[in-house]
Amino acid sequence: MTLYRYVKAHPQTASPKTSRKVRVSSRLMSVLSRGLIISGIVLVANVLWPILSYELFTAPTLKQYEFLSPVPVSGKEDSLESTINQDLTRPQNWFPKAKFSRKTESRITHYTLSIPKFNIKDAVVEINGEDLKKSLIHYPGTALPGETGAPVIFGHSILPQFFSPTNYMAIFSLIPTLEMGDEIIVKFDGITYTYQVIDKVEVKPDDISVLEQPYDNEYLRLITCTPPGTYLRRGIITAALVD
C-alpha cells in the first residue's frame, strides 16, 4: 500500500521591500487624486466666483434692470439665442435691433481713451471700426468727442481676473466697477477732454435707448457685456465733460 502525506501549503508573503513600495505607491495615488479634485474645485470657483460676486456686489449699484428670461417670451423667442450665436467681437451685433443708415462723418479715423483708475493709457478708439479684437470701437451715428451728444464706445470684456489694460479682448472687463466721479480722458484731434462718471446702468441687448443722443450737454458712454465673462446684458457707463 502506498501512503501519501499531505503538507499544508503556506501562503507566500511579500518581502518587506515590496510591501514598502506598494504602500508608497498607494499613498502617492491618494495624494494625486486629492490634488486633482482640489484643482478642479479651484478652477470652477475661479470661473463662477467673478460672476457671482458681480451679481452680489456690482449689479446692485446699477439702476434697476430686467433679467433676460431663460424661458422664451412670445415674440422674443430668438432674442437671447441670436445674441449668443452672433460674433460679439463685432459691435454691430451687440444691439441686434439697432440700425444706423449713416456713419459718423469725420476726417479723424482714430483717437485715444485713458482710464487712470485701471491704468488704461491711450487705448485706440477706431471710428466706425468693426473688430473689437484690435481696438475700442466708436459706434456709428454717435457724436464725436467734445460735441453735444454722447460718443458711444464699445469695448470687449472677459473674466476680471484676466483683465489687461493693453489687451483689447479684456480691456473693459473692470468698467462696471467705475464709481461716480472717476475720470475718463479722451484725446481727439489734438485736444484733451476730461469726463467724469455720472451714471451706471445695465440693460438687455434689445434696449437700444442707450444709443440715443442727448442734446443737453456733452457726454461719453462706455459699453461692455455683463456679467463678466458672459453676453447676457450690457453695462453702460455715462460720463459728462468737465474739462
Q: What pLDDT is attached to residue 41?
A: 73
How far apart CA 232 and CA 43 sit, in angstroms, is 22
Q: What is the pTM of this model?
A: 0.68
pLDDT of 4 reads: 58
Residue with cell 485715444: 112
For position 61, what pLDDT does the model report? 66
Burial class, 153, CB count within 10 angstroms (exposed 0-12 / middle 13-18 / buried 19+): buried
CATH 2.40.260.10 corresponds to the domain 62-67+91-241: yes
CB 165 within 8 A of CB 194: no
Domain residue ranges in the chain: 19-60, 62-67+91-241
Q: In which residue are the cell numbers 453735444 written?
A: 148
209, 202 contact by CB (below 8 A): no
Write down the pLDDT at residue 139: 92
Task: Mark the ranges of the chain whose per-residue pLDDT is less than 50.
Answer: 64-83, 101
Instruction: Determine how many CB atoms are found less than 10 A away from the CB of residue 193.
Output: 20
| The three grid cell numbers given for residue 81, joined into one nine-digit string | 439665442
Residue 217, all three cell numbers: 450737454
C-alpha cell at 200: 451706471
Q: What's residue 142's pLDDT?
A: 93
Q: Which amino acid is at 49?
A: W
pLDDT for the residue 62: 61
Residue 172 has a pLDDT of 96
